[in-house]
Structure 1
Amino acid sequence: MAIQIVLLPGLLCDEAVWSDQLPALSQFAECYIPDYALRNSIGAMAEHVLASVHAKRLLVAGHSMGGRVALEVFRRAPERIASLALLDTGYQARAAGESGEHERMQRFGLLSLARENGMRAMGEQWSPGMVHPDRLGSDVYRSILEMIERSTPEKFEAQICALLDRPDATGVLDEIRCPTTLVCGREDRWSPLARHEEMHTRIQGSRLHAIEQCGHMSTMERPNHVNEVLVDWARWSISKETANA
């Protein structure tokens, strides 16, 4: 198998976060969506991905926490990465001092809520900031809540630990030379467009796409628009591979 497409989910997400992209991308190559299980570091998630796919060259797309995993996959095996797509994500480590402690307390507060009242109750408190305000109460919003409910407090804790100890990927951005596309919902309040503009500046030759009327969950909120971008990314990536063969 020469090329595979790897689609990396974010925090408490499963294959549903990529369900609208699978038909569009499967025309180019076999697609793989990992389950991180109880792995509690970005590094362990990246190693699991690299061990699970056997193609020599990979097109790797990551959403949210999955974007951080994608960057760690590149750090560990740059020779295997034909291209990257980074959606609604970030690259910096947790802040030091009061800001970083505030993040830790917020995340563990949500974990306590999940343990005491269940994943659905936690999701109902946590999820409103995920989507464009116009989608609150929509079918997409309900699908997000159902996805969260399918997970467990144990997985949530493992992924919280991974995010709190996330590696700084600033240096990785400067090393990327493969075709790279950045995607961000215009109204993403968790991973704002300004952060993707910083990444775009650092990654040589990258492309940046803002998805209009869209929050953090771009693949689910605006699937057709995201598909257009990712199909273009896949074509661009494969044409580069063919040219370099």
Structure 2
Amino acid sequence: MPFAQANGLDLYCERSGSGPPLLFISGTGGDLRNKPNVFDGPLARSFDLLAYDQRGLGRSQKPDADYAMADYADDAAGLMTAQGLESALVVGVSFGGMVAQELALRHPRRVKRLALVCTSPGGEGGASFPFHEIGHLKGEARARHLIPISDTRRDAAWAAAHPEPYAQLVALGSADPFADEPGHAMGARRQLEARSRHDTWDRLPQIACPVLVAGGRYDGIALPETQAKMAARIPGATLRMFEGGHLFIIQDRNAIPAITAFLMGDPAA
């Protein structure tokens, strides 16, 4: 299995494709065993794509200790070193976008261009939905709670009018095939604790690389107004809003091409 020593941990990673190196940092609970994943999408056809399970998740090491956002950023930098990458393009999605902000701040020479996707800066700029406050919700109850938050169009009226798609979303949101693995619950909880303390707001003006802030118009997790604040706070950042909720990256067929164009340095992106 492809493990890398990074920041004192064994991190599970995969790498595929050709083109400019791209580090993809996944969101809350990200596990490369869950399919489809980023390697099944178009980014793997345009880039030398590197993705990994973050500490406490998937097949990566799960130390039972306090996790800080700085740790996640240092993990990412350590993984790049282990993979022979001095720098790379970076895409951070949701929680991964929080990690990507810290990476760009703590290791600025590592990040060539940065796409922050459905994420938040915390602090005065606004935090993403507090997942750490709904830890008591499991399975279907959690899925039903989050569906209208993830996409604000999917309210009770929508669910009643679309019973089959709603049932599919509940089933998808309820699935946790690795829940019984040792350390799984602890690692997930540690991630949410770190996430609850995320705050880069005061430091965002220090990000010097080109940045794209991409959000969904109906996202109740990483709010549209938060995307606007974040983009305005980062010097020279571009803001793009897409049709969809927290998963706009797969809901709006224009999202990936726009992100790819930005990463490739297309001035029209």
Map of 2:210 onto structure 1: 179
Q: 1:230 to 1:63 in 2, by over 3 A?
A: same
Gaps of 5+ in 2: 1-17, 57-61, 160-164
Structure 2-normalised TM-score?
A: 0.70
Please report how far the alpha carbon of residue 143 of structure 1 lies from its aligned counterpart in structure 2 after TM superposition: 7.4
Is the 1:9–1:17 Cα contact (8 Å) retained in structure 2?
no
The reply on whether 1:9 has 2:26 as its aligned counterpart is yes
- 3-state SS in 1 of match to 2:236: coil
Which of 51, 69, 86 is the matching residue for 1:56?
86
Q: 1:92 to 1:235 in 2, by over 3 A?
A: same
Is the 2:24–2:91 Cα contact (8 Å) retained in structure 1?
yes
Aligned counterparts, 1:34-73, within 5 A: 34-38=52-56, 40-53=67-80, 54-73=84-103
Structure 1-normalised TM-score?
A: 0.76
Is the 2:92–2:117 Cα contact (8 Å) retained in structure 1?
yes
Residues 28-75 of structure 1, C-alpha deviations (whole Å, 9 max, x = no match): 432122212326322222121111123111111111111110011112
Is the 1:28–1:234 Cα contact (8 Å) retained in structure 2?
no
Map of 1:76 onto structure 2: 106
The reply on whether 1:233 has 2:267 as its aligned counterpart is no
Map of 1:26 onto structure 2: 44
- In 1, distance between residues paired with 2:254 and 2:116? 15
Gaps of 5+ in 1: 240-245
Residues 123-182 of structure 1, C-alpha deviations (whole Å, 9 max, x = no match): 34334311353586359735751665555432331121111222x212332012212111
Please report how far the alpha carbon of residue 121 of structure 1 lies from its aligned counterpart in structure 2 after TM superposition: 4.3
Is the 1:24–1:231 Cα contact (8 Å) retained in structure 2?
no
Runs (4 or more) in structure 1 with deviation over 6 Å come to none
- In 1, distance between residues paired with 2:250 and 2:89? 20
Q: 1:44 to 1:62 in 2, by over 3 A?
A: same
Amino acid at match of 1:173: L
- In 1, distance between residues paired with 2:255 and 2:170? 20
Alignment RMSD = 3.3
- What's the % identity of the aligned pairs? 19
